[in-house]
Amino acid sequence: MAVPGFSPDTLDDEGTPLWISGLADADPNHSVHVVRGLEPAAALATLGAKPRLFRPWELPDELTWLSPGVVGIEPDFSAILLAGQVGEWTFVYDNFGATTHDQTPDLAADGRTAATSYLSINADASMTYCVDRAELAWINVDDLDLEQDLADMPDELRAAVGAAGTFDVDYLEPGEPDYSICMRAVSALAGIRHTLNDLRRVPLLVTPFG
């Protein structure tokens, strides 16, 4: 494998950052947003979550996935959003993929930078990168050619995708982009190379959504 921006102890056996896969169901359909210069509560509100439902939360020592029962949320909500801040960047993990690329420009309002990575249960993998509401890049992993496409990306995104590298999996030829590359890229963009233990040291907000 060639993942220059991540040490092996921060990735699972499919190349997904552990801080993401540790929150995910066995068959994930989820999204991750990152935004620079916006507090977690403001990011959640921008995505359409209701502030009255926000509450602080700590990851339990044993976490199978970010489920309603674990969080203490009524199961009739379609999604759970988990937000925290690492340095200048806020992240929002959506365990249901209920928030989308369409909301990335809102996160990137007022000169901010934001990105969203999405992976569906059918392995549709993509990433959006926006600055000051403008979409500057859209990555669809099925169409991604790293040799050709990197040169056309904005500098910051190019560095993040370069740090994401490639991950050897049995369904691809060596060096081809895998379905976790966008999750690594969005993590590299925000400087989040955490394990779940690392995430336990980050103040978190959790909320039902939908």
Q: Examine the pLDDT at 93 and tell me if it is beyond 70.
A: yes
Q: Which two tokens stand for residue 126?
A: 């993509």
Average confidence (pLDDT) over 96-120: 97
Q: Examine the pLDDT at 144 and tell me if it is beyond 80.
A: yes
Q: Examine the pLDDT at 119 and tell me if it is beyond 70.
A: yes
Q: Look at residue 69 in the predicted model and tell me its pLDDT.
A: 86
The pLDDT > 90 percentage for the chain reads 84
The enclosing H or E element of 51 equals: none
End-to-end CA distance of the chain: 38
Strand partners, 131: 113, 134
The pLDDT > 70 percentage for the chain reads 98
Q: Please, which residues have CB within 8 angstroms of residue 167's CB and are 6 or more apart in sequence?
A: 1, 2, 3, 11, 14, 15, 178, 180, 181, 184
Q: Look at residue 3 in the predicted model and tell me its pLDDT.
A: 85
Q: Look at residue 1 in the predicted model and tell me its pLDDT.
A: 46
| CA distance readout (Å), 6 to 9, 47, 161, 164, 172 | 8, 28, 12, 7, 20
Lowest-pLDDT range of 2-6, 17-21, 95-99, 139-143: 2-6
Give the model confidence (pLDDT) of 5-57 as tens digits.
Answer: 999 999 999 999 999 999 999 999 999 999 999 999 999 999 999 999 999 99
Average confidence (pLDDT) over 104-132: 97
Q: Please, which residues have CB within 8 angstroms of residue 72's CB and are 6 or more apart in sequence?
A: none
On whether the CB atoms of residues 115 and 130 are closer than 8 A, the answer is yes
Average confidence (pLDDT) over 133-141: 98
Of the pLDDT bands very low, low, confident and very high (cuts 50, 70, 90), residue 2 is low
Query: Does the reported pTM lie above 0.85?
Result: yes
- Distance separating alpha carbons of residues 186 and 8, to the nearest angstrom: 17
Average pLDDT, rounded, for the chain: 94
The enclosing H or E element of 128 equals: strand 125-131
Closest of 171, 140, 178, 180 to residue 28, by C-alpha: 180
Distance of CA 103 to the CA centre of its chain: 14
